[in-house]
């Protein structure tokens, strides 16, 4: 049988990370490859209690079809959280519940991207966004990242020459690099895009995970009319529940509703009610402190081990939050070659290439510290350091 597929499928990359995770099913491999929250921090008992409460008090509502927009009390909680955390007034009527941030990216692609549409994206960029947007066959225009955020001159040139439909960015503890936009860069991005028809897609999946330093304003504060914020409960409660959201201006919101109705009618309603019940009956601040403290210790452990075991020629970021850091090998040293050698030493990471839309990243790699205990971090980094030294010489 000769199956006939849409041409776009030949231009959409498979998730490199999902393919790597197959390799790491071997329990003897120490994996820094996945973007996984620490399962030891999942509030299992509290979620169990919340589920029992929901199925006891609202059983038929929880198991019935519902509205596309999502459970109103959950949207109200998100709205109140924006006011408390960032001083932003975003009404519940502008918040759409989605099946994780990944569906948010897909919906944005559906309503904003045509074939060959110009799309600006960070370099390196989030692999999930690259994959989601690639399905709609855009023309990517990568914006280089500096230690304090995007290369403003590069972004300005892309906006001037191509007027991209969107600029997608992760200002807080960026995936994959761990970089955070400075306050100055946030203002500059807002000022630059204000008055243009380029939407800034602000993916704030990691914003609640700051474990060092002070919170910075969301870019949305400087760009309210053409800014969209993405959020997620995956990183602060549990990824298996697949709950995220989009906060968008009304005209964009209406288009998102239409696209979501065509996709799945509404997100898992039972999970929405359970999450809201958890948030209503438990101290989220205490839970977040637990996560932040753990990730800070894991990040510090990894950085200390890298300082001890990595060759001096290897540089790496030192994030103030989130789940990842980014290492750069000397020129001419391939992270793919390193990956193959590292797997033989029973340690895994993600080579940098898939995070680039222009073929770059051959000497870089992403490391996840949130899903490994300190002993595994130290041993895994030691093995990886040995692999690096054998390649660098």
As a whole number, the mean pLDDT across the chain is: 95
pLDDT score at 9: 78
Share of the chain above pLDDT 70, in %: 97
DSSP characters over 237-260:
T-GGG--EEEE--HHHHHHHHHHH
pLDDT score at 34: 86
pLDDT score at 2: 80
Same-domain status, 214 and 240: yes
Same-domain status, 100 and 229: yes
Confidence class of residue 368 from pLDDT cuts 50, 70 and 90? very high
Average pLDDT over residues 253-280: 97
pLDDT score at 1: 75
Which CATH number do you get for residue 291?
3.90.1150.10
Same-domain status, 228 and 347: no
pLDDT score at 220: 96
Average pLDDT over residues 316-343: 96
Same-domain status, 274 and 162: yes
Angle at which helices 183-193 and 152-162 pack, to 10 degrees?
10
Residue-wise pLDDT for 316-329, tens only, equals: 999 999 999 999 99
In a domain, 261, yes or no: yes
pLDDT score at 5: 80
Residue-wise pLDDT for 192-229, tens only, equals: 999 999 999 999 999 999 999 999 999 999 998 899 99
In a domain, 258, yes or no: yes
Residue-wise pLDDT for 82-125, tens only, equals: 999 999 999 999 999 999 999 999 999 999 999 999 999 999 99
Same-domain status, 96 and 166: yes
In a domain, 59, yes or no: no
In a domain, 37, yes or no: yes
Q: What residues contact 311, with CB distance under 8 A and at least 6 apart? A: 385, 388, 389, 392
Residue-wise pLDDT for 18-64, tens only, equals: 666 676 677 889 999 988 999 999 999 999 999 999 999 999 999 99
Tokens for 221?
């504060």
Confidence class of residue 3 from pLDDT cuts 50, 70 and 90? confident
pLDDT score at 89: 96
Residue-wise pLDDT for 177-191, tens only, equals: 999 999 999 999 999
262: left (phi over 0), alpha (psi -120 to 50) or beta: alpha
Q: In a 10 Å sphere around its CB, with 0-12 CB exposed, 13-18 middle and 19+ buried, how is residue 51 labelled?
A: middle
Share of the chain above pLDDT 90, in %: 90
Residue-wise pLDDT for 286-317, tens only, equals: 999 999 999 999 999 999 999 999 999 999 99
| pTM of the predicted model as reported, rounded to 2 decimal places | 0.94
In a domain, 2, yes or no: no
- Among residues 281, 302, 335, the one where a domain terminates is 281
In a domain, 222, yes or no: yes
Residue 142 has pLDDT above 70, yes or no: yes
pLDDT score at 20: 67
Same-domain status, 109 and 199: yes
What distance in Å separates the CA atoms of residue 16 and residue 126, rounded to the nearest whole number? 12
Average pLDDT over residues 270-288: 97
Residue 381 has pLDDT above 90, yes or no: yes
Domain that holds residue 217: 66-281
Counted domains in the chain:
2
């Amino acid at each position: 049988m000769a199956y006939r597929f849409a041409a776009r499928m030949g231009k959409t990359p498979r998730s490199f990370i999902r393919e790597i995770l197959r390799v790491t099913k071997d329990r003897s491999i120490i994996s820094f490859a996945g973007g996984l929250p620490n399962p030891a921090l999942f509030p299992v008992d509290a979620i169990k209690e919340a589920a029992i409460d929901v199925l006891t008090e609202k059983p038929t509502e929880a198991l019935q079809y519902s509205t596309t927009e999502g459970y109103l009390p959950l949207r109200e909680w998100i709205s109140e959280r924006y006011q408390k955390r960032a001083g932003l007034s975003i009404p519940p009527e502008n918040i759409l519940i989605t099946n994780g941030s990944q569906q948010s990216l897909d919906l944005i692609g559906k309503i904003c991207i045509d074939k060959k549409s110009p799309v600006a994206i960070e370099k390196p960029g989030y692999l999930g966004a690259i994959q989601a947007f690639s399905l709609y066959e855009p023309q990517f225009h990568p914006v280089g990242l500096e230690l304090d955020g995007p290369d403003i001159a590069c972004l300005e040139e892309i906006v001037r020459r191509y007027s991209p439909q969107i600029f997608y960015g992760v200002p807080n503890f960026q995936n994959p690099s761990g970089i955070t936009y400075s306050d100055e860069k946030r203002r500059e991005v807002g000022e630059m895009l204000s008055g243009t028809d380029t939407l800034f897609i602000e993916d704030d999946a990691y914003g609640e995970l700051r474990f060092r330093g002070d919170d910075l304003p969301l870019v949305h504060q400087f760009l309210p009319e053409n800014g969209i914020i993405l959020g997620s409960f995956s990183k602060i409660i549990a990824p298996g529940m697949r709950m995220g959201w989009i906060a968008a201006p009304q005209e964009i919101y209406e288009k998102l509703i239409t696209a979501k109705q065509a996709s799945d009618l509404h997100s898992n309603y039972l999970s929405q009610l359970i999450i809201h019940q958890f948030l209503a009956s438990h101290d989220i601040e205490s839970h977040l402190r637990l996560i932040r403290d753990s990730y800070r210790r894991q990040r510090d452990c990894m950085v200390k081990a890298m300082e001890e075991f990595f060759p001096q020629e290897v540089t790496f970021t030192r994030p103030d939050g989130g789940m990842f850091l980014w290492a750069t090998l000397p020129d001419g040293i391939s992270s793919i070659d390193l990956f193959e050698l590292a797997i033989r030493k029973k340690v895994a990471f993600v080579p940098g290439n898939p995070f680039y839309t222009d073929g770059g990243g051959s000497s870089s790699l992403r490391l996840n510290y949130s899903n490994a205990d300190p002993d595994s971090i130290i041993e895994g980094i030691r093995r990886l350091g040995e692999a690096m030294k054998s390649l660098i010489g």
